[in-house]
Structure 1
Amino acid sequence: MTAAPTAPPQPHAAAAGPTTSSSNVRAWTVTALLVVFMMVNFADKSVLGLAADEIRADLHLSATQFGLVNGAFFLLFSVAAVVVGLAADRVSPKLLLVLMALLWSVAQVPAAIGGGLAVLIGSRVFLGAAEGPAFPVAQQATLAWFPNHRRNLPGALITLGVTLGVIVSAPGLSWVIQHHGWRMALWVLAGVGLVWAAVWAVFGADGRHQIGTAGANTRAERAAAQVPYRRILTSRTWIGATVAYFTSYWTVALMLVWMPSYLRNGLGYTADEAGTVVIAPWTIGAVALLAQAGITGWLMRRGTGSRRARGWVGGALLALGAVCCLALPLVDGSTARTVLVALGFGLGGSYAAVAATSVAELSPPSRSGGTLGVMNAVVTAAGLAAPAVVGALVDAQGSDGYQSAIVLSGLLLTVGAAASFWLVDPARDIARLSA
């Protein structure tokens, strides 16, 4: 987020000589493959949102029912994230990743073949269980190729894969849905998952750097390596990063599930237009992620601590997103509202890299997979609640329910920004864990 080698980590693995040119190439090759991994992951997540109106018409679903279907994706998502996150401290991430990709493809098949609401729910629950550990394990596998001071960019790129997955797939999947049906889109995603698994099996590899307290060379570091999970999970940094990431993920869930419907039914875009406009918040999020990585890296190279370089920069993104969401009722016209929603959700949904790198810095090597997995489990509970809450608002208020949902998101992002500013300080909590 080696992070999870098959053999116990060696005390001086992180300092095993200078980085060679070939290992550097391998590190970025693995990073590129894992960016694509996250692209496939979020294309899988976004497909139902892109086909929301078609699925609701085909299966005769209310907005609340459709929200519950999408929430079902997260029913086992969090449990799987914890279980596999803990396993990632002992099992090769390369093996875990290829197994996950294969299971994603299998999960698409039942709903792609046919069936009604029950089949769709079962398929999404299975897919959610298979995808739950994806982000923490991908972060762990990537960051294990880089020392701490070089992790901001690769960590951001893995998160960028989330946005690129929607940006790249949304127009193509929308076209498939409009011309060949939403079930054909599931077949396409199943095939893409199989191709990635085959490529990763050949070119994937586990990294050599430990995550967290590097090297365990001092008495304090050796003590930190034995710290129980309980102390890490009750640290202010872990709590602050998790709360902030939860509010950020709330907006991500709404972008995945309800943004296309809001564009079509709330702002009057056609299906084809919505399939293009929907990439706007994801594009803004991608730019925000790269900017955050650049600013954070620059600050840390100048000696700025993680509290400001990560916690404050990430908190600023959430605060800006909150302002845009809360301003929505103050403007009229579809263009102005599209701009505010794109900025609010794009900026608000870009906290994941800050959360992952902050927790990775905090955690000792033997605890990184578990702490990242538990964080992901708590955070993605937002994906279980957000679609159902918005569905209920839409059923109760009609198209005005979308605006209420966006304002609610702004309030949550305000809480997340405060948590990031006030609580995230890895250096302080590392010292406390080592005491």
Structure 2
Amino acid sequence: MPVDQDAQSGSTPVGVGVGRGQDPSVRRRAWGVLALLVCLMLVNYADKVVVGLAGVDMKKDLGLDDAQFGVIQSSFFWLFAVGSILGGWLGGKIRARWLLAGIAAIWALSLAPMAAQAGFTTIIACRVLLGFAEGPTTALAMQVAHSWFPAHKRAVPSSIVVAGAGIGPLIAAPVLTWVIAEYSWHMAFGTLAVFGAVVALLWLLAGDSGPEATSTGHGAEGTTVLPERVPLTRLFGTGTLIGMMLLFFVAYANTSVKVSWLPLYLREGLGYDAETAGNLVALPYLGSAIAVILAGVASRALTRRGVGNRLTRAVLPACLVLASGLCTIGFSTLDRGAPQMALLILGSCLNSAGYGVAFAGLADVVPAAQRGIVFGIVTGVYSLGGVIAPMVIGELVASGESVAAGYGDGFMVLGVTMIIGAVIALMFAHPDRDAAKLAAKA
């Protein structure tokens, strides 16, 4: 078995697993690194949501129409897939301490020009660079988190990492809305650039991969041992990879629309003022941060009771996304009011809840040495949902009979797409079965 680069460079020795009762200091380090990963995800998603929060002012200052603003939102994802795949490949070659610190530093650099006067072309260039740098973040964060925890205990840490994606906009929405109102939308980008640089420094000082980086055990008892490497064509031919990629695709389409268009939908489509919209935007993220952790805890509890990984890490997230699709259709048909907001928030919570559990399901069928590249490819594929969905919403809003009708049509299409993707994932994804097949062919 190849020796992990981090083990060679002085990280915790392979075999000292978190949760095995062998070294309390390793356990404390694992949770400390997990906290830093949450901070990285926090900044990552705050960077994504800022354009939506500043959208009304940006459109006014720069004279942009809805279709042009949709292009700006979509441009973030133009090189997202390239960054995801490249970052996943580099994840197996460059120590996580240096790689993630460098990525976070690029975030800060890409945000800095937006703090000054910037035109349409400059904004797109900055968003493309930011998307390229943020592309591999989720995959690498999951790879590092999984390296600190044994296979049967990964659902909760995975969910905590994903919760950072909800905490970021939860904090950013009201804070950045205030910064934009009191100063300018340029100042909001400058603020995020500073925080990105700080997080990059913190990760450089204390972040790294852990002792499970080369572990091949699978399941609560480690009964299925994956081979050290599997041809990528065979991995991506499994039902689990096919089903999960499609599930991630439709779920990320929902997430990207929420990040890109929700603040504008609340203001332009529903008529809320800027302060109210900023506060309402935070509610789906608050619910999502809680829901994703609860889903991880539920998955872990079911695993401890002997429930198979198909139910806990495939059926569970697919059902959550399916229910989210139904909620999305529901709120798109309602007028402004408490019932509509309740469905909007519930749909967001359900959509986000399955991410961490689904990543744990992917890890069940992917050898440890290949998780970086596989997670990167998966992230790159599902990021296409972030390219397509914001542009489709922009076109529908621009061509609708009214702004509200355009948004309603967009969310209806999104909800139907999510249901279709979730149903296909339910049919295909089966981590236990696919892990056994891969082990048998080793």
Q: How does 1:241-280 map to 2 (within 5 A)?
A: 241-280=244-283
Pick aligned residue for 2:356 from 335, 353, 372 = 353
User: Could you say which residue in structure 2 is the equivalent of 1:316?
Assistant: 319
Q: How does 1:205-216 map to 2 (within 5 A)?
A: 205-210=208-213, 213-214=216-217
The question of 1:414 aligning with 2:415 is answered no
Pick aligned residue for 1:199 from 199, 202, 226 = 202
- AA aligned to 1:37 is L
Count of aligned residue pairs for this structure pair: 430
1:346 CA displacement: 2.6
User: Could you say which residue in structure 1 is the equivalent of 2:404?
Assistant: 399
Pick aligned residue for 1:174 from 177, 181, 185 = 177
User: Could you say which residue in structure 2 is the equivalent of 1:326?
Assistant: 329
1:92 CA displacement: 1.2
1:3 CA displacement: 11
- AA aligned to 1:149 is H
Give secondary structure in 2 for the equivalent of 1:234.
coil
User: Could you say which residue in structure 1 is the equivalent of 2:437?
Assistant: 432
The answer on whether the counterparts of 2:293 and 2:353 sit within 8 Å (CA) in structure 1 is: no
CA distance in 2, matches of 1:185, 1:328: 30
Inter-CA distance 322–211: structure 2 relative to 1 (3 Å threshold): farther
Inter-CA distance 92–65: structure 2 relative to 1 (3 Å threshold): same
Deviations 1:375-407 (A, max 9, x none): 000011111111111000010012211111111
The question of 1:95 aligning with 2:85 is answered no
User: Could you say which residue in structure 2 is the equivalent of 1:13?
Assistant: 14
CA distance in 1, matches of 2:378, 2:102: 22
CA distance in 2, matches of 1:334, 1:110: 39
What percentage of residue pairs aligned between the two structures are identical? 32
- AA aligned to 1:5 is Q
1:220 CA displacement: 8.0
- AA aligned to 2:30 is A
User: Could you say which residue in structure 2 is the equivalent of 1:301?
Assistant: 304
Deviations 1:11-43 (A, max 9, x none): x93467743111111000000011011000000
Inter-CA distance 3–251: structure 2 relative to 1 (3 Å threshold): farther
User: Could you say which residue in structure 2 is the equivalent of 1:122?
Assistant: 125
Give secondary structure in 2 for the equivalent of 1:304.
coil
- AA aligned to 2:155 is N
CA distance in 1, matches of 2:191, 2:55: 17
- AA aligned to 2:379 is N
- AA aligned to 1:297 is R
Inter-CA distance 251–142: structure 2 relative to 1 (3 Å threshold): same
The question of 1:153 aligning with 2:156 is answered yes
Inter-CA distance 342–317: structure 2 relative to 1 (3 Å threshold): same
User: Could you say which residue in structure 2 is the equivalent of 1:344?
Assistant: 347
CA distance in 2, matches of 1:314, 1:220: 22
Inter-CA distance 43–197: structure 2 relative to 1 (3 Å threshold): same
Deviations 1:320-360 (A, max 9, x none): 21221122355334322222222223312333212311111
1:368 CA displacement: 0.8
CA distance in 1, matches of 2:195, 2:21: 37
Inter-CA distance 152–60: structure 2 relative to 1 (3 Å threshold): same
The question of 1:236 aligning with 2:239 is answered yes
The answer on whether the counterparts of 2:42 and 2:167 sit within 8 Å (CA) in structure 1 is: yes
Inter-CA distance 411–29: structure 2 relative to 1 (3 Å threshold): same
Alignment TM-score, normalising by the size of structure 2:
0.92
1:159 CA displacement: 0.2
The answer on whether the counterparts of 2:292 and 2:349 sit within 8 Å (CA) in structure 1 is: no
- AA aligned to 1:404 is D
